[in-house]
Amino acid sequence: MPELPEVESLRQILERSLAGRTFRHATVKEARLRLSVTAELSSAIAGRTIERISRRAKYLLIEVAGGQVMLVHLGMSGSLTHRGHSFDPGPFDPRHDHIEFALDDGSMLVYNDPRRFGLIKIVARADLNNIAELKYLGPEPLGREFSAAYLWQATRGRTVAIKNLLMDQRIVAGVGNIYASEILFRAGVRPTRRGGKVTRAEAGRIVTTTQEVLREAISSRGTTFRSYRDSRGQPGRFARLLRVYDREGKPCLKCNTPIRAITLGQRSSFYCPKCQR
């Protein structure tokens, strides 16, 4: 699933190429996504200019004139590509091009999603903070609200594993499975540690490494293992910088101890048994 770095990378590229462009219309080829795409999608955006593109957690917010926002979640395998005359659709199977947004310059914004777990819906800008998808999200991990004091307080008395708490979108918004493993490795905290057992100092390290890992991943345009591509069809480059994720049995890059893999909350978790306590 695309996580915060992938969605933020996508936002940055689309903001540069689409801000000021105007939607002509939308063609819905397959409406059955996580929620069915409504018939009003095309009429809601037709003739409206894209004012800005922002992000909240793993959601992309395409804001258009007239106070409307197109909320996009890529699900497990979705992609949103800006396709001009020179675009190479190589990695994208056209059978999964479910929605095409025609733009005033002749280019198209295309939503492709083999597994169809994504979401696209129109929301009034005034209602954004009250919709179910965004209402209960925690602070952004790259923002000031996500501090050592906040994380330490949020984990008090919790018996849930710290990795699962990091992935709880109500506690911090946007961190997913890949980056949670990397964050805890750099912080020296074992993913199975109960949240309530994390010390103030460790909470501080987790916040610091969260911001380091996410910023590095954004600079590398995210992580691609299988399907993720940015809006130009390019894969992310952060996979080559991963220190524990998907490295079971390989030597730790710090101490040479073999990396272990376990399952937490039905997700694979990777850690070094020597470096992480």
Q: Which of 24, 48, 243, 267 is catalytic?
A: 267
274 labelled catalytic: no
* Whether the Cβ atoms of residue 185 and residue 205 lie closer than 8 Å to each other: no
- Domain annotation covers residue 277: no
Rounded Cα gap, residues 62 and 128, in angstroms: 12
Q: Identify which has the larger pLDDT, 174 or 224.
A: 174
- Domain annotation covers residue 40: yes
* Whether the Cβ atoms of residue 63 and residue 50 lie closer than 8 Å to each other: yes
112-133 exposure pattern, b = at least 16 Cβ within 10 A, e = fewer: bbbebebbbbbbeeeebeeeeb
* Both tokens assigned to 235: 């894969």
CATH number at residue 121: 3.20.190.10
Do 115 and 169 lie in one domain? The reply is no
- Of 18, 91, 28, 31, nearest in space to 61 by CA: 18
Do 107 and 18 lie in one domain? The reply is yes
Q: What is the pTM of this model?
A: 0.91
258 DSSP β-pair partners: 251
Q: Which of 3, 6, 8, 63 is catalytic?
A: 3
Rounded Cα gap, residues 16 and 245, in angstroms: 31
Do 99 and 194 lie in one domain? The reply is no
**Helices (H), ranges, 105-199:** 132-135, 148-154, 162-166, 177-187
250 labelled catalytic: no
- Domain annotation covers residue 36: yes
Q: Identify which has the larger pLDDT, 145 or 226.
A: 145
Do 131 and 171 lie in one domain? The reply is no
Rounded Cα gap, residues 58 and 61, in angstroms: 10
Domain end call among 77, 112, 135: 135
Its domain, for residue 24, covers 4-135
Q: Could you tell me what percent of the chain has a pLDDT over 90?
A: 84
Do 8 and 122 lie in one domain? The reply is yes
258 labelled catalytic: no
Q: Which of 58, 186, 193, 221 is catalytic?
A: 58
- Domain annotation covers residue 165: yes
What mean pLDDT is reported for the chain?
93
Domain end call among 104, 135, 166: 135
Number of domains forming the structure of the chain: 2
Q: Identify which has the larger pLDDT, 143 or 35.
A: 143
Decide: helix, strand or coil at residue 110.
strand
95 labelled catalytic: no
User: Where does residue 269 rank: exposed (0-12), middle (13-18), buried (19+ CB within 10 A)?
Assistant: buried
* Whether the Cβ atoms of residue 28 and residue 37 lie closer than 8 Å to each other: yes
CATH number at residue 198: 1.10.8.50
pLDDT digits (tens, 9 = 90+) for 129-168: 999 999 999 999 999 999 999 999 999 999 999 999 999 9
Do 116 and 162 lie in one domain? The reply is no
pLDDT digits (tens, 9 = 90+) for 65-121: 999 999 999 998 899 999 886 566 667 788 999 999 999 999 999 999 999 999 999
* Whether the Cβ atoms of residue 245 and residue 272 lie closer than 8 Å to each other: no
